[in-house]
Amino acid sequence: MFSLKISTATLRRTTTTVLASGLIALASPLAATTAHAAAAPAVSGAGAYLLDNAKGTKLYGKADNTRRQMASTTKIMTAAVVLSQPKVDLNRKVTIKKEYRDYVKKEGASTADLQIGDKVTVGQLLYGLLLPSGCDAAYALADTYGTGSTPAARTKSFIAKMNQQAKSLNLKNSGFDSFDGISGGGKNYTTPADLAQIARYAMSKPAFRNVVKSPSYRGNAVASTGKTRTYTWYNTNQLLKSYKGAIGVKTGTGTAAGPCLVFAATRGNKTLIGVVLNGKDRYKDAAKLLDYGFGTKSATSMKLAPLPKGAQRD
């Protein structure tokens, strides 16, 4: 019979080595997870979310499934519904109605200052919607792409399309009663997680991406007099010129919603999309979250670019 003799000292050394190796193997993933969790930033927003655009996967969340109002970030869905219409024609001309200006005046809302009787294209209305956050532009688009015999019926129809689009994206915590975020019934809500998915869907459309990455827009329209009117709009999103790689998306501010920001940035081949709802320091929050996703440290030195004189605030 073959017998194996191992000294007590050898056995003790072997056991110690195996245990140590096992502890290292077990500890490494835990240590990495703990380190990653510890690096997650604290943000001022009551709710926040960050996702990887390519995969749609969550990278960060704070109260990310809690429903909140989202003010003018609603207009992301407004634009998405327009751009989802079959064979949408961005060169289609829309005549600006008195109702659109009256609405803005009544609500004290942000405006693209569209002039009655002017003929502007759908593409221009998207710039007016998303850069100066024009509620008049939102009204014009809802009135144009809704169905019915009156503006009230058409805008109601359009809002129904917004809700249908949310369902088609399988979003269970988003509802719309407004085409621009001004909610009379308080039933205009989303969550950080849902809003990030809405933004991801909208960003899949080239026309939307081109608009929201633009710091400004200047274009001509046919005025009611037949002459040419030039519209100049500035993007309310101050992150664009402040954070390297920022490519959008939309601001929003409301009494109930607080300051909100949907943001996106690309560095290398990686694009991140995020949301901050009711954030007192929404731009710093966005920079922190993007740094977290990219593994960078831009937020500490970021200086917020001021808006041009005369630009809308949102």
Q: Where are the alpha helices (DSSP H) in 116-216?
A: 122-130, 135-145, 151-168, 192-203, 206-212
Angle subtended at Cα 80 by Cα 74 and Cα 86, rounded to the nearest 5 degrees = 150
Longest Cα pair distance anywhere in the chain, in angstroms? 111
CA 296 centroid distance within chain: 21
Residue 258 Cα distances to 49, 70, 83, 85, 101, angstroms: 16, 8, 28, 31, 25
Marked catalytic residue, from 62, 72, 161, 214: 72
Q: Give the span between the Cα atoms of 281 and 275, in whole angstroms.
A: 13
Residues present in the chain in total: 314
Neighbours of 38 (CB within 10 A): 7
Marked catalytic residue, from 133, 174, 242, 298: 133
Known catalytic membership, residue 84? no
Known catalytic membership, residue 75? yes
Marked catalytic residue, from 75, 161, 250, 288: 75
Known catalytic membership, residue 172? no
> Which residues does the annotation mark as catalytic?
72, 75, 133
